[in-house]
Structure 1
Amino acid sequence: MKFDELDERMRVFETAHDLCVLPGVFMVARIDGRGFTRLTKEVHAFESPFDVRVRDMMVATTEHLMSCGFRILYGYTQSDEISLLFHPDEDTFGRKTRKLNSILAGEASAKFSLLLGGLAAFDCRICELPNAELVRDYFRWRNEDAHRNALNGHCYWSLRREGKGVDEATNTLVGLSVAQKNELLFQRGIQFNDLPNWQKRGTGLYREAYEKEARNPRTGAAVRVERRRLKVDFELPMKDAYGAFILSLLEGQDR
């Protein structure tokens, strides 16, 4: 059998279940660290519940993903996860989810491993969102999840530092309201509202316009030109203001 015939015969088994995101549907990639609790608490002794070194590696990984060949409007990272909002017209690889998932997971794993100096792995899934309002709600969801995880994490590790075991610290928090968790921290000298916003709300990355000085190549005259750069925002707005911010990114993009 000639190679071309064999190739055509076998290729169908590789692509038979390829799924593609339909045109007009918004795409958000969710990239999650695999086994990061063990990685950051046992394999590498990072500070709990948050370590600025891990934050900076996650931000750098997000920057890499936003610059590796896809049109990404917004990147968001909290804890060990990254969410990427694609430009509505992004059609790389025909919007095949198999390709998007494997490439983004591979790129994230490679970049973070290099930064860490050890092995780290991520998985990826593509969320298909039919309208801008659901895109807004997706990022509101992850933003609120960051807030909940930060509160729980600070409570849990405060108890662990007092000598409580895993089960005892976990069980102490079961059934406590948000107000009660805030009070638990307050009694231990921690004012949750005063903690860094990146811990409570995550970090956003998006491109912003700025002006810089340049020279007219024909006249040599000094001119001001507009350029775009990637901004890392550690002070994201909250709740409805954050939702409005997400919608503004969609409304302001060039199709």
Structure 2
Amino acid sequence: MNFKNLNAKMKCFETLADRSVIPQMYIIARLDGRGFTKLTKEKYSFETPFDEKFSEMMVETVKHVLKSGIKILYGYTQSDEISLLFDINENSFSRKRSKYISILAGEVSAAFSMLIGEAVVFDCRLSELPNKELVYDYFQWRMDDAYKNSLNGHVYWNLRKQGYSKNEVTEKMLNMNVAKKNELLFSNGLNFNDLPKWQKRGIGVYWEEIEKEGINEINNQKMIGKKKNLIVNKELPLKEEYKLFIRKISS
């Protein structure tokens, strides 16, 4: 069998399940660090429950992937996860799911590995959403998860630092509602409401068009141009304001 025929034959197996996302579907990629609990808590002993250096590495990773060639409008990170909202008209790689998943997992893994100084891995999955309301719901879901994780993390590590074992803390937290968790923190000198917003809401990264003054080289006159800058927002709004914020970014 010549190469041309053999190539056509074998490509069928490679692309059998290589589905493309249909036009006008919103695409969101979510990436999670693999084995990051061990990495952050045991190997590197980052500050618990939040470490600013680790958070900055996650932000730099998001910034990298927003510059990677796929048109991504918004990146959101909390803990060791990243969510990426594609432009609705993004059509690189014929919108093939397998390409987006493999490329984004590779880009994020490589970028974070360079920052931390060793090989780490992120997995990637895609959501295909038919309307903007679901896009808003998605990011509200991740912010709600960030809040829950933040409260639980502060309670967990507050108790651990008091000398309780993992099992004892787990048992203590089993039947604690949000109010009781806040009360426990407050009784130990920590007002959860006073914590930095990024610890409770996550961090957003997005493009913003700004005006920039320059000189026209032809007539040597001042001119106003426009350029896009990456903005890092550590004080994301809540609820309806967050919905309006996402709407503005994605329009």
Shared fold (TM-score, shorter chain, > 0.5) = yes
Q: Which residue of 2 aligns with 1:222?
A: 222
Give the equivalent residue in structure 2 for 1:31: 31
Amino acid at match of 1:201: R
Aligned to 1:161: 161
- Give the Cα–Cα distance (whole angstroms) in 2 for the partners of residues 95 and 46 of structure 1: 38
For residues 161-209 of structure 1, the C-alpha deviation after alignment (integer angstroms, 9 at most, x for no partner) is: 0111111111111121111111110011111011011110000011112
The equivalent of 2:78 in structure 1 is: 78
Other-structure match for 2:210? 210
Q: Which residue of 2 aligns with 1:179?
A: 179
Tell which deviates more after alignment, 168-177 or 181-190: 168-177
Between the aligned partners of 1:239 and 1:176, the Cα distance in structure 2 is 24
Provide the residue aligned with 2:94 in structure 1: 94
1:223 Cα deviation after fit: 2.7
Output the TM-score relative to the length of structure 1: 0.96
| Farther off after superposition, 49-58 or 205-214 | 205-214
Aligned counterpart, 2:141: 141
Task: Name the SS of the counterpart of 2:228 in structure 1.
Answer: strand
Q: Which residue of 2 aligns with 1:104?
A: 104
1:7 corresponds to 2:42: no
How far did 1:5 drift?
1.1
**3-state secondary structure, aligned to 1:231:** strand
Compute the displacement of 1:117 (Å): 0.6
The offset of 1:244, in angstroms, is 1.5
Instruction: Look up the SS of the partner of 1:211 in the other structure.
Output: strand
**Equivalence for 2:245:** 245
| 4+ aligned runs moved over 3 Å, structure 1 | none
Q: Percent identity?
A: 52
What are the ranges of 5 or more consecutive residues in structure 1 without an aligned counterpart?
A: none
Code of the aligned partner of 2:153: G
CA distance in 2, matches of 1:169, 1:86: 40
| Counterpart for residue 49 of structure 1 | 49
In structure 2, C-alpha distance between the alignment counterparts of 1:49 and 1:209, rounded to whole Å? 35
Give, in whole Å, the separation in 1 of the partners of 2:224 and 2:244.
31
2:118 is aligned with 1:118: yes
What TM-score, normalized to structure 2? 0.98
SS in structure 2 at match of 1:175 = coil
RMSD: 0.9
Aligned-partner Cα distance in 1 for 2:74–2:215 = 31
Deviations 1:103-122, CA, capped at 9 Å, x for gaps: 10111111101100112110
- Aligned residues, how many? 251
Cα shift readout 1:134-171 (whole Å, capped 9, x = no counterpart): 00000000011101100000000000101111111111
**Structure 2, unaligned stretches of length 5 or more?**
none
Provide the secondary structure at the position in 1 that maps to 2:231.
Answer: strand
